[in-house]
Structure 1
Amino acid sequence: MSQAPLVLVDGSSYLYRAFHALPPLATSKGMPTGAVKGVLNMLKSLRKQYPDSPFAVVFDAKGGTFRDQLFAEYKANRPSMPEDLRVQVEPLHQSVRALGYPLLCVEGVEADDVIGTLARQSAAAGREVVISTGDKDMAQLVNEHITLVNTMTGSALDVAGVREKFGVGPEHIIDYLALMGDKVDNIPGVPGVGEKTAQGLLVGIGGGLAQLYENLDKVPALPLRGAKGLPAKLEEHRDMAFLSYELATIKTDVALDIELDSLMCGEQDREMLMALYSELEFKGPLEELQREAAATGQAPEPAMPTVETRYETILDPDRFDAWLAKLEQAELFAFDTETTGLDPQRAALVGVSFAVEPYEAAYIPLTHSYMGVPEQLDRDSVLRALQPLLEDPAKAKVAQHAKFDMNVLANCAIGGDRNAGIQVQGVAFDTMLESYVLDATATRHDLDSLAARYLGHTAVSFTDIAGKGAKQLTFDQIALEQAGPYAAEDADVTLRLHHTLSAKLAEIPSLEPVLRDIEMPLVPVLARIERTGALVDGKLLGAQSLELGEKLVALEREAFDIAGEAFNLGSPKQLGAILYEKLGLPVLSKTATGQPSTAEAVLAELAEQDYPLPKVLMQYRTLSKLKSTYTDRLPEQINPRTGRIHTSYGQAIAATGRLSSSEPNLQNIPIRTAEGRRIRQAFIAAPGYKLVAADYSQIELRIMAHLAKDEGLLHAFRNDLDVHRATAAEVFGMALDEVTGDMRRSAKAINFGLIYGMSAFGLARQIGVDRRQSQAYIDRYFTRYPGVLAYMERTRAQAAEQGFVETLFGRRLYVPDIKANNPALRRAAERTAINAPMQGTAADIIKKAMIGVDQWLQSSGLDARMILQVHDELVLEVREDLVETVTGQLRRHMGEAATLAVPLLVETGVGDNWDEAH
Structure 2
Amino acid sequence: MSDAAQTPRLLLLDGHSLAYRAFFALPVENFSTHTGQPTNAVFGFTSMLINMLRDEKPTHIIVAFDVSRISFRTELYPEYKATRSETPKPFQGQVSLIKEVLEALRIPVVEKPGYEADDVLATLACQGREAGMEVLISTGDRDAFQLVDDRVTVLYPVRGVSEVRRTTPAVVEEKYGVPPHLYRAKAALVGEDSDNLPKVPGVGDKTAAKWVNEFGGLDGVIANADKIKGKVGENLRANLAGVMLNYQVNKLVTDLELPLAVSDARWAGWDREAVHQLFDALEFRVLRERLYSYLESVEPEAESGFELEGRLLRSGEVAGWLRENAGTAPVGVAVTGRFGRGTGELTGVAVATAGGLAAWFDPAALDENDERAVAAWLAEPSRPKVLHDAKPAQLAFRAHGWQLAGVTVDTALAAYLAKPDQRAYDLTDLALRYLKRELKVDAPEDGQLALSFDGAEDTAAEEGVMLRARATLDLADVLTAELSRDGGESQRLLAEVEQPLSVVLAEMESRGIAADTEYLSELESHFAAEVKAAQQAAHEVVGREFNLGSPKQLQEILFVERNLPKTKKIKSGYTTDADALQNLFAQTGDPVLEHLLRHRDVAKLKSTVDGLLKSVSDDGRIHTTFNQTVAATGRLSSTDPNLQNIPIRTEEGRRIRRAFVVGPSHEQLMTADYSQIEMRIMAHLSGDDALIDAFNSGADFHAATASSVFHVGLDEVSADQRRKIKAMNYGLAYGLSAFGLSNQLTISNEEARGLMEEYFKRFGGVRDYLQSVVTQATKDGFTATILGRRRYLPDLTSDNRQRQEMAKRMALNAPIQGSAADIIKIAMLRVDEALKESGLASRMLLQVHDELVFEVAAGELEQLQELVRREMGGAYPLSVPLEVSIGVGRDWNGADH
If the TM-score is normalised by the length of the shorter chain, which range does it land in? 0.7 to 0.9
Give 1:673 deviation, angstroms.
Answer: 1.4
Paired AA for residue 649 in structure 1: F
Give the aligned partner of residue 196 of structure 1. Answer: none
Report which stretch shifted further, 794-803 or 86-95. Answer: 86-95
**Which residue matches 2:131?**
none
Residues in 2 aligned to 1:658 and 1:875: alpha-carbon distance in whole angstroms: 17
- Tell me the CA shift for residue 287 of structure 1: 5.2
* Secondary structure of the structure 2 residue equivalent to 1:775: helix
CA deviations over 1:576-631 (Å, ceiling 9, x no partner)? 211112111111112224x1222222222212222221221111111111112x22
The corresponding residue for 1:392 is 380
Aligned to 1:811: 789
Aligned-partner Cα distance in 2 for 1:823–1:170:
35
1:539 to 494, 498, 518: 518
Which of 792, 802, 816 in structure 1 is aligned with 2:780?
802
Q: Give 3-state SS (helix, strand or coil) of 1:866's partner.
A: strand
59, 64, 77: which one pairs with 2:64?
Answer: 59
- Equivalent residue for 2:320? 322
Q: Could you say if the C-alpha distance between residues 902 and 461 of structure 1 is closer, same or farther in structure 2, counting changes exceeding 3 Å? A: farther
Aligned to 1:627: 606
* Amino acid corresponding to residue 398 of structure 1 in structure 2: V
Match of 1:11 in 2: 15
**Distance (Å, rounded) in 2 between the aligned partners of 1:571 and 1:83:** 33
SS at 2:661's partner residue? coil
Match of 1:588 among 561, 567, 579: 567
Instruction: Quote how far apart the aligned CAs of 1:494 are.
Output: 0.6
Cα 1:286–1:685 shift into 2, 3 Å: closer
Q: 1:398-437 counterparts in 2 under 5 A? A: 398-412=386-400, 421-437=401-417
1:697 aligns to what?
675
Q: CA deviation at 1:759?
A: 2.1
Aligned pair 1:349/2:354, yes or no? Answer: no
Distance 2:878 2:33 in 1: 36
Deviations along 1:395-416, whole A, 9 cap, x unmatched? 322211111111111111xxxx
TM-score (norm 1): 0.71
SS at match of 2:840: coil
| Of 572, 575, 580, the match for 1:597 | 575
Which residue number in structure 1 is paired with residue 752 of structure 2?
774
Conserved? CA contact 1:314–1:320, under 8 Å? no
Match of 1:505 among 471, 483, 487: 483
Shift of 1:45: 9.0
C-alpha distance in 2 between matches for 1:855 and 1:581: 63
Shift of 1:657: 0.2
In the other structure, the counterpart of 2:46 is: 40
Counterpart of 2:852 in structure 1 is: 874
What displacement does 1:302 show? 7.1
Match of 1:209 in 2: none
- Distance in 2 separating the partners of 1:287 and 1:742: 53
Counterparts of 1:589 and 1:410 in 2: how far apart (Å)?
Answer: 53
Q: 1:906, CA displacement in angstroms?
A: 0.3
Structure 2 counterparts to residues 113-124 of structure 1, below 5 A: 117-118=143-144
d(CA) in 2 for partners of 1:577 and 1:160? Answer: 37
TM-score (norm 2): 0.73
Question: Hey, what's the Cα distance between the residues in 2 that align with 1:727 and 1:436?
Answer: 37
Q: Contact 1:866 / 1:874 at 8 angstroms: preserved in 2?
A: yes
CA shift in 2, pair 1:805/1:292, >3 Å = closer
Distance 1:828 1:860 in 2: 47
Establish whether residue 652 from structure 1 lines up as the match of residue 629 from structure 2: yes
Alignment of 1:856 with 2:834, yes or no, is: yes
Aligned counterpart, 2:440 = 460
The 1:903/1:292 distance shift into structure 2, 3 A limit, reads closer
Q: After superposition, give the CA deviation of every residue in 1:129-180 in whole Å (9 maximum; x if it has no partner).
A: 879999xxxxxxxxx99xxxxxxxxxxxxx99979xxxx96659xxxxxxxx
Alignment of 1:207-218 (within 5 A): none
> Displacement, 1:788?
0.5
Q: Match of 1:567?
A: 546
1:61/1:106 contact within 8 Å kept: no
The alpha-carbon distance between structure 1 residues 336 and 452, as it changes in their structure 2 partners (threshold 3 A), is same
Q: Is the 8 A contact 1:113 1:254 kept in 2?
A: no
How big is the shift at 1:714? 0.5
Check the 8 A contact 1:397/1:426 in 2, yes or no: yes
Deviations 1:51-88 (A, max 9, x none): 9xxxx9861599xx9859999xxxxxx99x99995793
Query: Deviation of residue 344 (structure 1)?
Result: 6.1
Deviation, structure 1 residue 860: 1.3
Return closer, same or farther for 1:860/1:452 CA change in 2, 3 Å cut-off. Answer: same
Q: Note the C-alpha offset of 1:44.
A: 6.7
Q: What SS is found at the alignment partner of 1:40?
A: helix
Equivalent residues in 2 for 1:726-805, closer than 5 Å: 726-805=704-783
Structure 2, gaps ≥5 residues long = 1-10, 77-91, 111-117, 127-136, 149-153, 162-174, 177-189, 200-244, 257-265, 280-284, 443-455
One-letter amino acid of the counterpart of residue 435, structure 1: A
What is the number of equivalent residue pairs in this alignment? 730
Q: Helix, strand or coil for the counterpart of 2:462?
A: helix
Deviations 1:282-308 (A, max 9, x none): 874575578779xxxx99997567545
Report the CA distance between 1:10 and its aligned residue. Answer: 3.0
Q: Distance in 1 between matches of 2:138 and 2:267?
A: 29
- Specify the alignment match of 2:330 in structure 1: 332
Alpha carbons of structure 1 residues 615 and 498: separation in structure 2 relative to 1, 3 Å: same
Q: Does residue 106 of structure 1 match 2:123? A: yes
Given candidates 253, 261, 266, the residue that maps to 2:251 is 253
Aligned-partner Cα distance in 2 for 1:255–1:746: 62
Contact 1:336 1:490 in 2 (8 A): yes
Q: Which amino acid aligns with 2:516?
A: D
Question: CA RMSD of the aligned region, Å?
Answer: 4.6
- Distance in 2 (CA, whole Å) between partners of 1:846 and 1:278 is 34
Tell me which of 476, 491, 507 is aligned to 1:528.
Answer: 507
Separation in 1 of the partners of 2:248 and 2:697? 71
Q: 1:317 to 1:449 in 2, by over 3 A?
A: same
Query: CA, structure 1 residues 59+133, in 2 after alignment: closer, same or farther (shift >3 Å)?
Result: farther
8 Å CA contact 2:386, 2:472 repeated in 1: yes
2:720 aligned partner, one-letter code? D
* TM-superposed deviation, 1:329: 2.1
When residues 606 and 311 of structure 1 are mapped into structure 2, their CA distance, relative to the original with a 3 A threshold, is farther
Deviations 1:270-289 (A, max 9, x none): x9898788984587457557
Q: Which residue of 2 aligns with 1:361?
A: 358
Q: What fraction of aligned residue pairs are identical, expressed as a percent?
A: 35
Equivalence for 1:836: 814
Distance in 1 of aligned mates of 2:377 and 2:525: 52
- Matches of 1:887 and 1:90, distance apart in 2: 55
Whether contact under 8 Å (2:413, 2:629) holds in the other structure is yes
Specify the code of the residue in structure 2 equivalent to 1:885. Q
**Aligned partners of 2:270, 2:797: CA distance in 1, in Å?**
30
Residue 818 of structure 1 contacts residue 829 of structure 1 at CA under 8 Å; is this kept in 2? yes
State how far apart, in whole Å, the 1-side matches of 2:33 and 2:535 are.
44
Question: Match of 1:750, SS?
Answer: helix
Decide whether aligned partners of structure 1 residues 114 and 899 sit closer, same or farther in structure 2, where only a CA change above 3 A counts: closer
* Counterpart residue type for residue 512 of structure 2: G
Unaligned runs of at least 5 residues, structure 1:
1-6, 26-32, 72-77, 135-143, 146-158, 173-245, 259-270, 368-375, 413-420, 463-477
Matches within 5 A, 1:88-487: 88-89=102-103, 91=105, 93=107, 104=121, 106=123, 117-118=143-144, 251-256=249-254, 280=275, 284=286, 288=290, 307-316=305-314, 319-339=317-337, 341-343=338-340, 345-357=342-354, 359-367=356-364, 376-378=365-367, 381-412=369-400, 421-460=401-440, 481-487=459-465
CA distance in 1, matches of 2:806, 2:649: 28
Shift in CA distance, 344/774, structure 1 to aligned 2, threshold 3 Å: closer
